[in-house]
Structures are given as C-alpha cells and as structure tokens.
Amino acid sequence: MKKIYASIVMLMFVFLTNAQSQFWTVTDYKGAFPVTDYTPQTDWTYGWSNFDPENTNYPATQTTVNTDITTNTNWSGVILLENKIYVKNGATLTIQPGTIIRGDYGTQGTLTITKGCKLIAEGTQQLPIVFTSNNSVGNRSEGDWGGVILLGKALNNQPAGVVNIEGIVPSSDTEHGGTDDMDNSGSLKYVRIEFAGIPLAPNKEINGITFGSVGSGTQVDYIQVSYSGDDSFEWFGGTVNCKHLISYSSTDDDFDTDFGYRGNLQFGLAIRNENLSDAAGDSNCFESDNDAQGSASLPQTAAVFSNFTIVGAKGDGNVTLPIGEKFEKAFRIRRNSAESVFNTLVVGWEKGLSLEGTSVEDNVLGDTLVFDHNVLCEIPTNCLTTTPGFLSTYFSNHNNDSLTTINQINWVNIFVPSGVAPDCRLNSTSVVATGADFTNLKFGDLFNGVSETNKTSFKVYPNPTNGVITIISEKQTLDFTIYNSLGQMVLKNNTDLSNLEGGIYIIKTNGHSERLILKK
C-alpha cells in the first residue's frame, strides 16, 4: 500500500511541476507577434477578432434568456440576454461556435458562472462566439450591458477565503474562493466581448470579463474585450492561465490583478483610445494590487506576464494629450503586489513603469517581482518609484530598454485609425525580432538553463504551510536552501519553518526551485 501511495504522489508531482513549463511558448521575438511572413496565419488576431464593433451589423435576436440556468444548457443562434443571469446548481452552459449574445441595457443583462458551474464557450477562428450590445449601429457605447463573470473555488487572500465579486449586489451567487487552485470553471476560446461594463450603481461597473478565484483547470485562449466601461480583464485571486488576449479601447485598465492572483499570461495586445478614459490618473494598462490595503495577506498577487504588445493613447506620438492627462501608466504595480513582466513592448504612454510603495520595492529586492527584457519605447517618464534612483538602477540592470525607437521596432502597421485592424507583427529588420529571454525561474524548470539529466526535482507539501513541510523528491537525500523574500538564506536542509515569520519563501536546489507560502 505504501508503494502505491508513493507512486500516486510522484504522478501528481510530475503533473504539477510540468504544468507551468508546458504553458509557455518560447519565442525569439519580444512582444506579442512574430516577424511577418506575409501570410495572415502568423497574425493570431486574424479571422476572429473585430476592431470595428461599433459598425458591425449583427442579426436580430432569435431567443430571449431572462431566467437563471440551473440545468445543463446549450445556446446557439442569436440570443438576447436580459437581467442578471446566473448559471448555478452545478450546471454547465455550453455555447456553440458562431453564437451571438446581445446584452440588454434596460435590464442590465449580465452572465455570471457561479462556483462549481462551468461555461464551455469554444468558438473557432472562423466562427467566434460574440457577446455584444443589443443596440443598433450608431447607438452602441461602452457600458451597454453587464459582462461575463466567472467564479471559482481557488485560493484568494481575503480574510475569510470566500468573498463576493465586485460590481454586483452581494449574494450567495456572487461568492468566490476556496482551496482548490486546480478548479475548473470551463473553457473559453475564440470569444469576443464588446460594450460591456454597465454601472450597476455609481462607481460599481462590471468589467468586460471578470475572474473571481478561477482555478488553473479552466482554459482561456483567444479572448478580445472591446469598449469596456471598466477594466477589460480583471482577476481576483485564483490561478487561471490565459493566452492570446486583446484589450481594445478600454475605459479603465486593460489588465487588472488583485486578491492574490497567480496565473501565467502570454501573448496579449492592448490598444487604447484617446477619447476613452476613466477618472484622471486611473486609466492604466497594467494595474496590480495585493489587496486594497496593500497588506501582506497570502497568497500574494504574483501573476507572470510575457510577450505583450501595448499601444497607449499617444500612439506613435502624433496624439498630443495635456499634462496630467487621464492615461497614466503602462505599469502601475502597487500595494504589495509581486506581479512580473517579461519580453513586452510598450509605446504611447506618458509614464512607463511605476512601482509604488516600499513593500513593492521589497518585492523587487526579494526577486518575487521581476521586470525583465522589456522595451519601453519613446515614453517621457520610464521609471517611477518611492525611493529616488532605486528603479532606474533596477531597470537598467535587468535587461530593460528605454532607448529603442519606434522606427527600430518597425511594426508592420500598428498605428491605424480607430476601427481599423492593426497589423502588429514585426518587419524582418526589427531590432526586437530577437532578444526575448525565458531563463528566469518564474517560467518554470524547462527554461532555467540546467540540463534535464542534471536536475533535482522536488515538491513541497503542504503549500501553504503553518510550519513543518515535507519535501517529496525522486532522490533519497536532497540538499536544499530556503531563502526569504529579500533573497537572504534562512535555512539549509531543514524542513521546520516554525521559527520563521509568515511570508513568501523560495526553496532552491540544483536546477529547480519552489515558491512556499508560510502562514502565521
């Protein structure tokens, strides 16, 4: 019986340690798109995205949905979504390719997938699934309907572990959170969400798509959010991984992370509209908090982004915005967040990277927050931080670049008028066609520069822990070292952490590391 148990543990261990590495696609190029070969297929936005939804003629509705879904249900055709609809009672909602869902303004049409339920919305490149406004051409705008909300059972860092999602009246149907980081809320692929973000009350807007404690068992790939009345994408806790995301003409933030979100995200495009913004200073591309108080609550917000292409409201510089304009920062990392960004191209923002508060600086020093191999192109203020000189030194020492020009990046045709599809690929002479890097440990074991034959793999259990841990390894003896968030060695070959303070720790051995959360 003992041998059987050990085998099961090892199978689980192999799955868990390989999952992160299998997610990442190693590229030579920085940004979200490769060098063009003049065939549409090298542009992953081709065929399913839409950069002119204001003038798209959608067919009339065929079916109206205005009551909650409590049994397994299929949608197809053209649907009018009325009221705040909840998928509940363990049900699965399956949406067929090519389905169009038109959200109603008067009843604040909103779709919420509650904990334990699933949304299977798998469109195709030729037949995407579209959530859009029920208004006619010429009468559509941001906030015409609610949006899509997925709620799961993964960990967040709120005191009770279970919390109500923001922007909607609290009830048992709006709760998210639990202990299952591998929770599955379904699969979304080739989906567009347009004109969402209705304000249910003053300053209580819903995002284009909201993830509340959604687990890594959920599949998210090829999603476009356009003209959202609030954020395009927001994650509250959870571990869901996402690829191929488009945020177009958002009002508030493009990518917002909070409450201990720890997913991986690769290949993203954000294009801002100079005519759409939130309150002064609040419209950012990336915004990240550990929580509203900036506490040390665990798990810590530590999402990892790579290969994003970001075009701010200034575009190629021809858009002149006044000093103090509402479009603030490409990266606003604050309130003890440890979000990391790699291999990303940014242009058209007034300010680049902003690390706010000493707790965020401590995360940088402890290497839990990494900003590496990014290009901030022709941005007046590239570095902002609480401590003068701190960030500029870090920026230059971590392979980041603020000197490359638009002409040197040499996009095919990225600066186009609103409503025109951009071509964000690189020309062959682009200086960022090479230079991406995936050697940081945040990308997992496949990219840490140690040969597979020489690696020593292990798994830590339980994680999070209250003190004593068990290390599972294929080796009978294992030399390991434990470091705190400042990069200081605190223990060696000792599994009893009872005398340490609560926080984030890194356990390292030859060719492998694990992030450990110690709760006190």
Q: Give 459-479 pLDDT, tens digit per residue.
A: 787 878 888 988 877 666 778
The predicted structure's pLDDT at residue 509 = 75
Q: Which pLDDT tens digit goes with each residue over 71-102?
A: 999 999 999 999 999 999 999 999 999 999 99
**In this structure, what DSSP letter does residue 314 have?**
T
Question: Can you tell me the mean pLDDT for 449-461?
Answer: 55
Q: What is the SS3 assignment for 358?
A: helix
Q: Which of 161, 188, 168 is nearest to 112 (CA)?
A: 168
The single residue listed with the structure tokens 């819903």 is: 206
Question: In the predicted model, is pLDDT for residue 13 greater than 50?
Answer: no
- The torsion angles phi and psi of 4, rounded to 5 degrees, stand at -65, -45
Q: What is the average pLDDT value for the chain, to the nearest integer?
A: 89
Phi-psi region of 335 (alpha: psi -120 to 50; beta: other; left: phi over 0): left
Residues in Cβ contact with 266 at an 8 Å cutoff, skipping those fewer than 6 apart: 23, 24, 25, 243, 305, 306, 307
CA distances from 304 to 14, 310, 440 (A): 21, 16, 11
Model confidence over 274-293: pLDDT tens digits?
999 987 668 999 999 999 99
Residue among 336, 332, 363 nearest 346 (CA): 332
Is the pLDDT confidence value at 9 over 50? Answer: no
Count how many residues are written for the chain. Answer: 520
The domain segmentation of the chain, as residue ranges, is 17-29+140-443, 448-518
Asked if residue 170 has a cis previous peptide bond (ω within 30° of 0), the answer is no
483/84: higher pLDDT:
84
* pLDDT number for residue 486: 61
**In the predicted model, is pLDDT for residue 394 greater than 60?**
yes
Question: Which has more pLDDT, 296 or 476?
Answer: 296
pLDDT band at 332 (very low <50, low <70, confident <90, very high): very high
Is the pLDDT at 124 greater than 80, yes or no?
Answer: yes
